[in-house]
Chain A
């Protein structure tokens, strides 16, 4: 028997969802790359706490593994790598948005409202799922995509990718009470690989041609 009552778990997951949304707002609003990186690290930390809470409530040992891996990889390792890259590249510390950050924030609000509406329209499926986890997860994922779409530099797009991935993770965890371990590990390996490839690409591209993603639109045949 689990030590936590289902109601308490619902409440805690809801609260964590609210904090996740808050870190997401911070990522969208961050004017400097470092702040975005710290926010995404905090978000991953919250995800691993959520995994630990679900692990104690469901007694599923796989979730403990997930919590540990998330903490080590996404809350510590990847932010550290990003931080190093920013330091080594001597890039401008400001994020360079395609549209103004205020407009991005407005879009983020629209996304939050739409994802709540969408999951409310799911009806019976919605009833079966823990509290607000589904709309929060959808909102996180879409906002991560929004961040990827509205930033010019590769590093801030990576932050968006991590945030989006966090959203998928949160949804999967809260909806299924823990996916099979092999899938979760596969997803995490994917993210690490993507991060490594992108980091190396960014460093290489910058050191050889001194260009960034935004310059690629001039590359026409």
Chain B
């Protein structure tokens, strides 16, 4: 099979995702600050934080096992590997065997699992609490994400994201069928949960009552914490590119102009989704933990209805 995405392109896309990830976080934080009438930190602040963290030394709790230090590296590796599976600037099947959407969700779930294991390993109360909450939310988010992916995959007849995106083609909005509207609605409901933002999680605070993801990072320090932070930036941009690959892909275009066009379209799509996240974060309050299942239930029902519209 001759694919549209050679190995070099996939690697470039993966590195691009990792490099741009912190920028997206910075942009969202900047937009939030402007919406709250603050000046806010510069857009590049996440890069500075990462650079600072990687220069620092590591401190570990006495109670940690030998496995603990490798957790940040494994989490980062799983997330970056997931980044290789989404088409970024060009749709179409890859030229060599590569995983599909199920693999991508599996890698993200693996990263999440390892993060929780690391938090429990250190034996701190906050880490355990964060891990238990994250593991309460995760089984509500992941199946729904799976169903959204399947509801589009049924139409394309493949779960390979590049081929899926190519199947939808460039005239994405006009080609939307009934199920896509519901799938997209489910995706919008899930997006804050999957990227760890308000109304489900609050990325800005270390207050014990509100945090999920941040609670699990408390025991990490120095380069390890840097890896975890980079992993969560990457996870966010991977999720956003998954949405754009499923719902507004850019078709396979040849030549350098096609690549430039794809990159520009990618920037616009990510910017739009980031604006959506910033708006949601600024206009909603964080939900109580026990209200989260009801919120995610809306996404579940939407995704299931989308599947029903496709299959039945």
User: Which chain A residues have a beta carbon within 8 Å of chain B's beta carbons?
Assistant: 11, 14-15, 17-19, 21-22, 25-26, 28-29, 31, 100-102, 105-106, 108-109, 112-113, 116-117, 120, 131-132, 135
Residues of chain A within 8 A of B302, CB atoms compared:
22, 25
Residues of chain A within 8 A of B312, CB atoms compared:
113, 116-117, 120, 135
Q: Does B257 contact A (CB under 8 A)?
A: no
Residues of chain A within 8 A of B221, CB atoms compared:
none
Within the complex, what minimum Cβ distance (angstroms) separates A134 from chain B?
Answer: 12
CA distance A11 to B176 in the complex (A): 9
What does DSSP make chain B's interface, helix, strand, loop or mixed?
A: helix
Residues of chain A within 8 A of B305, CB atoms compared:
18, 21-22, 25, 109, 112
Q: Does B48 contact A (CB under 8 A)?
A: no
> Beyond A14-B177, A17-B178, is A105–B308 a contact (Cβ under 8 Å)?
no
Residues of chain A within 8 A of B177, CB atoms compared:
11, 14-15
CA distance A15 to B174 in the complex (A): 11
Q: Name 29 A/B residue pairs within 8 A (Cβ), A-sorted.
A: A11-B177, A11-B178, A14-B177, A14-B178, A14-B309, A18-B178, A18-B182, A18-B305, A21-B305, A22-B181, A25-B298, A25-B301, A25-B305, A29-B297, A29-B301, A31-B294, A100-B294, A102-B293, A109-B301, A109-B304, A112-B301, A112-B304, A112-B305, A113-B304, A113-B308, A113-B312, A116-B308, A132-B178, A132-B309
Judge whether A18 and B309 touch: CB under 8 Å: yes
Residues of chain B within 8 A of A102, CB atoms compared:
293-294, 297
CA distance A101 to B291 in the complex (A): 10
By beta carbon, the residue of chain B nearest A101 is B294
Known: A18-B306, A105-B294, A117-B312. 9 other contacts (CB 8 A): A18-B305, A21-B182, A22-B181, A29-B294, A29-B301, A102-B294, A105-B297, A116-B308, A120-B312
CA distance A105 to B300 in the complex (A): 9
